[in-house]
Amino acid sequence: MAAQAAAEDDGWWQLSREEKRRRTQDAWAASVVEDLDLRGDKDDDAVASYGVPASGKAILELHAPAWGEASEEDRRRGCVVCLEGLEVGQNLRMMPCGHTFHELCIFKWLVVHHLCPICQFAMPSEEEQRLLDGMEEEARQPVRKKKKRMQ
């Protein structure tokens, strides 16, 4: 009963079917990325053997393309992580470089390696993401605050 009241307060029931589906998939994706973080120990040997993972934020912000957005080459090649074909109706994610993979496959890959498995495009690591977020925050601050800091 409390869950239903919370859902009503959140406006869940007023959302379109597609928006409910999108929000559910986003929540699932976030939990998968968290569950897949195999490197919680931050051991130097693990870094050497696994590589540098992409930031969780960068992984979750990957574009979820419609079938027609995947390139003809990607559809023909399939997912290079699992080596199976891409099919209509599957959950896909597209890297910023434009390569498309099964959603779960690329999430698993990026939790271990921050590079695209096809072209080696580098996704930001957690440290790089913190720096990028800090730069974005600084750019949003009013000019007066920046001048005061410089004095």
Query: pLDDT by residue (tens digit) across 74-129?
Result: 889 999 999 999 999 899 999 999 999 999 999 999 988 899 999 989 999 888 88
Tell me what pLDDT residue 28 has. 66
**Nearest of 81, 105, 83 to residue 92 by alpha carbon:** 105
Banded pLDDT at 148 (limits 50, 70, 90) = low
Residue in the block written with tokens 């913190």: 130
Handedness of CA 97, 94, 60, 53 (dihedral sign): negative
What is the C-alpha separation between 34 and 118, in angstroms, rounded? 24
**Nearest of 18, 49, 31 to residue 112 by alpha carbon:** 49
* CA-to-CA separations, 76 to 73, 79, 83, 107, in angstroms, rounded: 5, 9, 11, 21
Rounded (to 5) percent helix, strand, coil in the chain: 55, 5, 35
Percent of the chain with pLDDT over 90: 26
Which of 11-15, 48-52, 66-70 shows the lowest per-residue confidence on average (mean pLDDT)?
48-52
The structural domains of the chain, ordered by start, are 17-125 (3.30.40.10)
- The string of pLDDT tens digits covering residues 58-85 is 898 999 998 888 888 988 999 999 999 9
**Is the pTM of the predicted complex or chain greater than 0.75?**
no
Q: Are 122 and 49 in contact (CB under 8 A)?
A: no
Q: Are 71 and 100 in contact (CB under 8 A)?
A: yes
Which of 3-7, 15-19, 84-88, 140-144 shows the lowest per-residue confidence on average (mean pLDDT)?
3-7
Q: Mean per-residue pLDDT for 21-45?
A: 61
Banded pLDDT at 144 (limits 50, 70, 90) = low
